[in-house]
Amino acid sequence: MNKKYEVSLLLIRLVLGISFLVHGVVKFQSGIGNIAGWFESIGLPSFAAYVVAIIEVAGGIALILGLGTRLVSTLFALLMIGAIVKAKWAGGFLGSPQMAGYELDLAFFVMALALAIAGSSLLSLGSLLSAGNSKRADA
């Protein structure tokens, strides 16, 4: 595969992984109970806040390490669709003084979708592990 293409996917994977990891950690640091209350206020079950935060933290770490990139990216894309539709759509693309827009969520969605489609194997633990498994199977 083209080296520039692989480097581009690596950069997307790392930035998306770090971004989701930070967003998930902040949910816990700022009081996940508060986030759960906000989820209820927009019509979502409170437990969904815990599920989202765990996916963001665990998925962010997995993307940074390059483990399950396609699966994690698919989950992130679904989270972004939910965030856009349920929380951000009313604010429009750029938002307003009272409400954030969905431009960042859309960018995260497209990044996640690109990784879900193409994967990212450069400097990934997943590639290292699968290469090790294929060597053992050949022996």
Per residue in 7-16, pLDDT tens?
999 999 999 9
Q: In this predicted structure, what is the pLDDT of residue 137?
A: 43
Q: With H, G, I as helix, E, B as strand and everything else as coil, classify residue 93.
A: coil
Q: In this predicted structure, what is the pLDDT of residue 135?
A: 54
pLDDT above 80 for 97: yes
Per residue in 104-131, pLDDT tens?
999 999 999 999 999 999 999 988 888 7
CA gap 134, 139 in Å, rounded: 9
Rg (CA), the chain: 17
Q: What would the two tokens of residue 10 be?
A: 């690596």
Q: In this predicted structure, what is the pLDDT of residue 78?
A: 98
Q: How many residues belong to the chain? A: 139
Strand partners, 100: 95
pLDDT (mean) for 58-73: 97
Spacing of C-alpha 30 from chain mean position: 19
pLDDT above 90 for 136: no
